[in-house]
Homo-oligomer: A and B are copies of this chain.
């Protein structure tokens, strides 16, 4: 007696989460240290020390104030979140990116997943189209389906994994309501350069004029701060007027379990006022109500903090170099914590299954709308990377890559 949608979901379910569970079973069987689980994007670095200290301070300050103090950190606030938290984040963004936001432009959300869903609920009617660049985070499919909208997939350049902009232009229709951009990218680790973003902006402007519509560019930004090799943190609202941002602190502060992020609606976006109010209403009516209260206040005190990017950079170099040397073809990651590897055989599920024989857990590219590749999440310990290399060597040998 479950719904038809959920019946279907029970058959499919998330390849990533399934792999996560499989990994835990393998770890129980073979020992944690003998399983090389590259399946889940679960940060490996601890939250900055300042986070727990901020929470302690908030508790102490609240206790000193009695009942009002408790209600001030655990009670209801406006559905958009605490005004002072939103203002602090707005000012931090302005300082870093030269924007001009105020608290009014922000809605605090239950992570980026919550943020994307309330944006979608606010803008999507049934049969609207949302464009995504393959390969893409598979959950976008579910989020669009929640509102009966369709995902339209734009192909990548299979050498660089930059989006094919000619394909983008050809896929925009009068029903296109949004384009999701995720840079630094999950699953490829690629960053879309300023020039690419400018070109995307120009295409969207042109198509808006052609169809007389508004097309929102939704920037899904959980990896904004995870950039390597001198790449700069970027903020996409400057490239295109109708840009909405969905941010998460999950990766930048290593607290994915806490579900805390925000949405930004710039003043210059079409119907900005209605969007902001619609997003607040959606936050309430989808059942989020508001982002968790105490952690809202805690992250507002940690805006100058960042996770240990050098830790991931070390994994990135070691894994990229190690696998390339073994004969695998990899896209060199510029950001995030994923390595995108070409499967030595066309059907990458075969490759994933072969990897399991050596206790290597990888996620098939088809989970990201891009078969023929696999994703390795290198948000693991240095030891896991190091000890996985002999297993990858054995896997390379299966396919004769070492010849």
| Residue ranges of A at the interface with B (Cβ–Cβ < 8 Å) | 1-7, 9-10, 13-14, 17, 21, 40, 42-47, 49, 51-52, 55-56, 59, 62-63, 66-67, 69-71, 73-79, 110-111, 113-118, 121-125, 139, 142-143, 145-147, 177, 213-214, 216, 254-260, 270-271, 274-275, 277-278, 281-282, 284-295
Contacts and interface: CB of A to CB of B under 8 A. Distances in A.
A14 B255 contact: no
Contact of A142 (B55, B147, B285): B285
A88 B226 CA distance: 37
Residue of A3, A115, A278 ringed by the most chain B CB atoms within 10 A: A3
B286 A123 contact: no
Contacts of A288: 110, 113-114, 259, 287-288
Given A257-B293, A292-B292, A2 B286 contact: no
B292 A258 contact: yes
Given A2-B274, A17-B79, A74-B254, A114 B55 contact: no
Given A10-B274, A278-B9, A59 B55 contact: yes
Contacts of A146: 285-286
A170 B111 CA distance: 43
B287 A256 contact: no
A270 B125 CA distance: 33
Contacts of A46: 66-67, 69-71
Nearest to A109: B287
B121 A289 contact: no
Contacts of A260: 292
A56 B73 CA distance: 14
A259 B108 CA distance: 13
Nearest to A74: B255
5 contacts: A1-B270, A7-B274, A46-B69, A49-B63, A259-B293
A76 B125 contact: no
Contacts of A78: 21
A249 to B, nearest CB: 10
Given A4-B125, A256-B76, A257-B76, A287 B143 contact: yes
Residue of A55, A62, A124, A289 ringed by the most chain B CB atoms within 10 A: A289
Nearest to A255: B74
Contacts of A77: 257
Contacts of A66: 46
